[in-house]
Structure 1
Amino acid sequence: MTSIVISSQKGGVGKTTVSINLAFAFAKAGRKVLLVDADPQGSVGLSLTRQSRKLLGFFDYLSEDGCSLQSLVVPTRMETFSMVPSGQGEGYELGGGYNESVAERVQCFIDDAESDGYDLVIFDSAAGLFGITRDVLVCADAALVPQQAEPLGIRSVPKMLQGLTDLRAMNPKLKILGVLLTMVQRELAESAEAADSLRELLPEALVMLEEIGRNDLFLKASGKGVPVGVLQGAEALSNNFNGLRLEIESKLGLSRDNA
């Protein structure tokens, strides 16, 4: 099993959109996927089910020893695609630095997911590299960094990548998949220049080939509580996420025999 964290330095870059639609792309390709809402804001749950605020979830697993993974899983209409909402997690400390006991619970969660037959766990994380996001990253196999194609945001990317590199001292297996440009508007000069500047700034291997454009269909999908790929007229976006899936499979050496 492989675990991937969708992580960014700041909010508003499309982490949740990427998490949901990338998970859907993997599930559609036949992999058994568990999408985990590891952000206290609960954005994944709110995007896919309006009842998520009432459900137990990931933070309850971290704070309650008797909470099983199976009791938290919310199925979707696709047999290969399930999710775990953020949950309640009362009394859990979300901020601060690395917490070894929390990281141990995160590792137990990942181990339980593997025991339950999942091929892939995707964590939608809170912005920054501290608190629960740090605890998840020290247990995960890989990290993907969405970044909005706008000038100010691009400048923070090297710092984010350095922070992930530093975390490899605690988790040597952590692979930095690269930066995924999001909300790209190639018809807008400032957005196109920001995207091209990032590609010039970083080594080619650290920027994903696929780009995710700004599109109103993402809002419609969120309003309906579904991945964008199930909407009519979303073929181009589906192709983007499928291309991203293939890139990730290549970088992680995930053969189709393991699907």
Structure 2
Amino acid sequence: MARRQGDRTPLPGFEENPVGPTGREKQDFADPEPLKSHGPARIISLCNQKGGVGKTTTTINLGAALASYGRRVLAIDFDPQGALSAGLGVPTHDVTTIYDLLLSGKVDPRDAIQQTSVPGLDVIPANIDLSAAEVHLVNEVAREQILSRVLRKIAPDYDVILIDCQPSLGILTVNALTASHGVLIPLECEFFALRGVALLIETIDKVRDRLNPAIELDGILATMYDSRTLHSREVLERVVDAFGDRVLDTVVGRTVKFPDASVAGIPITEFAPEHAAAKAYLSVARELIQRGAVA
């Protein structure tokens, strides 16, 4: 059949594969197979020393997404601001918190676990008391491994443990990295967020060399992406150029639905299940399972 000049319609057998925001071929990750057994958990820290990049939002919604695929998930609120606990609608005062577990070896970690409104997703809460932990831990023997000893007792009960780290590279974050098998770095598609990633990866490398040889970088997750702005597109392009396949194919867009869900105290996958942001976190969960970061 004759082809008109200027006709850009792909010929049969030569269709172009759609390109995702990362510039790579767009992926569609299949739903995972149900697990035949549970535990022991793979521990993943969500870490970035810059605040406001989506660590807590990702912990909440990735945890809920993994739970929806039949995984038993425990989220650890490791930030004195307690945003994870508030975002999951669990109390943070007059209850056993992660602070109590760090400072007392006599407290059973199971006493601190609280169920959320999402089946399969539990949380250990935190409050402002955690801000004093760094001072108390200074004189402790093997202070970098205290969280690891706590989680060792409950890891057999879960498939994945997600640690929502505070925005710093202090002793609490080092504790989280020492306890973890992997690290997921949420990265806002903004220039100043990009600047600190090299320092964070350097810290992960130091922890690997000195404290935890098994730790891996599970991926970098682009968050707050806005395809309408040249700045977002340029930052994401630079991240992919610098880190290659370590950048997840799934990208989470910017939306006002996240704060709305936080106010409601439930994940966006429950608050607005048909929204693009909810589907994005389900895709993140499927991608991490396919990559082997989660069983």
What is the deviation of 1:89?
A: 4.9
Flag the 1:206–1:56 CA change in 2: closer, same or farther, 3 A: same
What is the deviation of 1:8?
A: 0.3
2:241 counterpart of 1:200 = yes
What is the deviation of 1:147?
A: 1.0
1:18-60 per-residue CA deviation (whole Å, 9 max, x = no partner) reads 0000000111110111111011111101222263244321111
The answer (yes or no) to whether the contact 1:113–1:121 under 8 Å persists in 2 is no
Flag the 1:104–1:165 CA change in 2: closer, same or farther, 3 A: closer
What is the deviation of 1:91?
A: 5.1
2:101 counterpart of 1:66 = no
For structure 2, the 5+ residue unaligned runs are: 1-40
Match of 2:260 among 202, 217, 220: 220
TM-score (norm 2): 0.79
Partner of 2:32: none
TM-score (norm 1): 0.89
Any residues of structure 2 matched to 1:174-189 within 5 Å, and which?
Answer: 174-189=215-230
Identity, in percent, stands at 24
1:53-104 per-residue CA deviation (whole Å, 9 max, x = no partner) reads 4432111100122211121111123331111101445852259989653343
Q: Secondary structure at the match of 1:40?
A: coil
Match of 1:45 among 53, 68, 85: 85
Partner of 1:131: 171
2:163 counterpart of 1:85 = no
The answer (yes or no) to whether the contact 2:222–2:252 under 8 Å persists in 1 is yes
Larger Rg: 2
The answer (yes or no) to whether the contact 2:146–2:175 under 8 Å persists in 1 is no
Match of 1:113 among 154, 161, 165: 154
The answer (yes or no) to whether the contact 2:273–2:279 under 8 Å persists in 1 is no
Please, which moves more after superposition, 241-250 or 174-183?
241-250
RMSD over aligned Cα, in angstroms? 2.2
Flag the 1:94–1:182 CA change in 2: closer, same or farther, 3 A: farther
For structure 1, the 5+ residue unaligned runs are: none
In 2, distance between residues paired with 1:157 and 1:223?
Answer: 29
2:289 counterpart of 1:249 = yes
1:177-214 per-residue CA deviation (whole Å, 9 max, x = no partner) reads 12111111111111221111211222x22211111111
1:76-135 per-residue CA deviation (whole Å, 9 max, x = no partner) reads 2333111110144585225998965334331222112124x1111100001232211101
Report the residue type matching 2:69 in the other structure. Answer: A
What is the number of residues matched between the two proteins? 253
Flag the 1:94–1:10 CA change in 2: closer, same or farther, 3 A: farther
Partner of 1:167: 207
The answer (yes or no) to whether the contact 1:61–1:67 under 8 Å persists in 2 is yes
Q: Secondary structure at the match of 1:168?
A: helix
